[in-house]
Amino acid sequence: MAFVLAVTGSAVGLGNIWKFPYVTGQYGGAAFVLVYLACIVLIGLPVMMSEILMGRRGRRNPVATMALLGAEEGKSMNWSWLGAMGVIAGVLILSYYSVYGGYSVAYVVKILSGVFSDARAADVIAVRDSFEGSWVLVGLFHTIFMGVSIFVVARGVEGGLERAVRFMVPGLLLLLIILLGYSMNTGYFGAGMAFMFTPDFSKLTWEAVLAAMGQAFFTLSIGMGAVMAYGAYLPEETSITTSAAAVAIADTTIAITAGLVIFPLVFANGLNIDAGPSLVFITLPLAFGQMTGGTVFGTLFFVLLSFAAWTSAISLLEPAVAWVVEKYNRSRAEAAVLIGVAIWAIGLGTVLSFNVLKDVRFLRGTLYDNLDFLTINVMLPLSGLFIAIFAGWVMCRNSTAEELGGAGTSYRLWRVLVRYAAPIGILFVFLKAVGLLELS
Ligand code: PFF
């Protein structure tokens, strides 16, 4: 149970409530959602199981685990590079994740101050603009968010983490259901449902498919060594298949519910569906400002969202810290501060992307846009690809069957997915999206 709670804490976070609705909005809705769901089941779940089983066999930080498993299977120890890529992806992701975690904390303060009471769309957007326009404020909340994350990892408080997840996930779901009631009364619930579930595949681009796949990895916390690092603490007798499925179901439920809350609000208020990363910080304050008891519910919601973001941030920081502790023999506290401060500094790039450096654009857009693209659309799919290859082709059948509890039907299904569906699917989508495969 402790393991499932910790991995759920890692999986459920800003990815579900902040990122899923905004990328779904950007990529046009239902077709994107369906591809995303297919990626969760056919690629995400088998890769997650692979990561957990590798972590449990290696019982070290991801870099050392990959070297050890490579050697154990009589193959190269250079597989440690795969662990290293995951650790680096985690570091880069946390650098901007922390900025949005900071938004979430900032919105607790804003809701409490009453600025959103009876506010209209234009007012809420103005609040967002003035916050986002100030690098001092965004930077301050990024600092607070990162500071708390460093503190928790430095102390190594597993017990606290479990307790937090136990009330956070049900609490978030409860508040989302209350919000759902509000969304249903806007008169635009049908429009929101249609946007999410009536697909128009003619508008789906390969880039959108790649983004859906990246989002599936991001939301399940896979491809970064986070789940692998947690897998190292998993007892032998716990079922990996059941644990992974439980996490994926909880995670997907929260994301879909968040979408069902947010899209009707977008249509009801005439908002821009591709508003980008601040979509949730416009729609939800509007709803809280108008509903009865909105200040209480709104405060609770952003408090819980901040907790959800923290439990995810901790799992993003953990692999890099574990690696420095084991490799350089540093204390946990020292390693957490060292790495945490470096991540905080990289995060300043994202802080500035929305104000001072707003007009500095290259390749995919602002610095944040580039970091986002590099991590979600490039690093995660690539690392997912190699994890699938490792678990499916490099590790022998006996090793994986032993970890997954024998060679029954579910094992055979896993093995087909991880040997064929996942690697071929990822590679195909990746090459299509970057334009290297010109099949019609
Ligand atoms: N899965 C988290 C979310 O959806 O917010 C983000 C995340 C956490 C990604 C940990 C990766 C990770 F290792």
Transcribe 179-205 into DSSP letters: HHHHHHTTT-HHHHHHHHHS--GGG--
The pLDDT value recorded for residue 295 is 95
**pLDDT of the chain, 440 residues: tens digit per residue:** 788 999 999 999 999 999 999 999 999 999 999 999 999 999 999 999 999 999 999 999 999 999 999 999 999 999 999 999 999 999 999 999 999 999 999 999 999 999 999 999 999 999 999 999 999 999 999 999 999 999 999 988 677 788 888 889 999 999 999 999 999 999 999 999 999 999 999 989 999 999 999 999 999 999 988 999 899 889 999 999 999 999 999 999 999 999 999 999 999 999 999 999 999 999 999 999 999 999 999 999 999 999 999 999 999 999 999 899 999 999 999 999 999 999 999 999 999 999 999 999 999 999 999 999 999 999 999 999 999 999 999 999 999 999 999 889 999 999 999 999 999 999 999 999 887 666 54
Ligand 1 proximity of 15 Cβ (cutoff 6 Å):
yes
The pLDDT value recorded for residue 438 is 63
d(CA 426, CA 56): 25
Ligand 1 proximity of 219 Cβ (cutoff 6 Å):
yes
Ligand 1 proximity of 312 Cβ (cutoff 6 Å):
yes
SS3 content of the chain, % helix, strand, coil (to 5): 80, 0, 20
Closest CA to 403 of 55, 165, 22, 14: 55
d(CA 386, CA 383): 5
Domain chopping of the chain, boundaries:
2-433
d(CA 394, CA 405): 19
d(CA 415, CA 401): 9
Amino acid identity of residue 362, one-letter, is F
DSSP label at 278?
G
d(CA 120, CA 330): 52
Q: What is the pTM of this model?
A: 0.96
Q: 394: which residues sit within 8 A by CB, 6+ positions away?
A: 70, 73, 75, 79
- Residue nearest (by alpha carbon) to ligand 1 atom 11: 221
The pLDDT value recorded for residue 163 is 83
CATH 3.40.50.150 fits 2-433, yes or no: no
The pLDDT value recorded for residue 252 is 98
d(CA 92, CA 274): 24
Pocket test residue of 221, 251, 376, 379 for ligand 1, highest count of atoms within 8 A of CB:
221
DSSP label at 221?
T
Pocket test residue of 304, 312, 343, 380 for ligand 1, highest count of atoms within 8 A of CB:
312
Ligand 1 centroid vs 220 CA: distance in angstroms? 6
